[in-house]
Amino acid sequence: MPDTIPPAADAPAKNTVVLATRNAGKIAELEALLAGFGVRVIGLDAFPEIGEIEETGRTFAENARLKARTVAQATGLVALADDSGLAVDALSGAPGVYSARYCGENATDATNNAKLLAALAGVPEAQRGCRFISVVAAIAPNGAESLAEGRWEGRVLDAPRGGGGFGYDPLFLDPELGRAAAELAPAEKNARSHRGRALRALLKDWPAFWAKAQARP
């Protein structure tokens, strides 16, 4: 685990929340959802001293806690982390916690999507049910913790659609809207997404969590 980073003259203020990711898409989504809550949001790019955090958990919750706890202890700031992925019914819940590396350690969005399409080749539309799952963990250096989960039900398309979003968004159809996640504007996606739902659930408990986070250990 990384050593605590010594404070610098331009060190972040204590009202700063560190998002435990370098994924620009996730940072943008979560920053938009936290914008009105009175905290400054930064990502791991602000802390190059922190290397890659190995996701060794067997569940989304375990991985979210692991990442948030590591970053909180390394930075001395409240850390917020999510672990999320796509669970496909016809694949017994895969790729699940391995969504980001479904096609191996050097996977890209394109290779992951291609593998998913190949795995579902010939599977009829009625059996292509899936859901995005996100678990968001907020952990303070003093050990205060809050956890929330969100889900977004959908269906896997047979070809990519849309040019927005990231990850599996081009293959995820929202049946109620009849559009892929990659076809939604950012605000519209945040209103429906698994990550948006998880974070809104987390924010319901935020005042109580923040009070505990500021207490002395």
Q: Taking the CB of residue 32, how many other CB atoms lie within 10 A of it?
A: 16
Assess whether 83 carries a catalytic annotation: yes
Instruction: Give the span between the Cα atoms of 169 and 2, in whole angstroms.
Output: 33
Helix, strand or coil, per DSSP, at residue 83: strand
Q: Print burial letters for 182-214: b (CB count within 10 Å at least 16), e (below 16).
A: bbbeeeebbebbbbbbbbeebbeebeebbeebe
Give the pairing of strands 172-174 and 179-180: antiparallel
The 8-class DSSP code of residue 192 comes to H
Burial zone of 44 (CB within 10 Å; 0-12 exposed, 13-18 middle, 19+ buried) = buried
Active-site residue identified among 45, 82, 83, 158: 83
Cα separations (Å) of 191 from 44, 101, 164, 195? Answer: 25, 26, 15, 9
Question: Which residues are the active-site residues?
Answer: 83
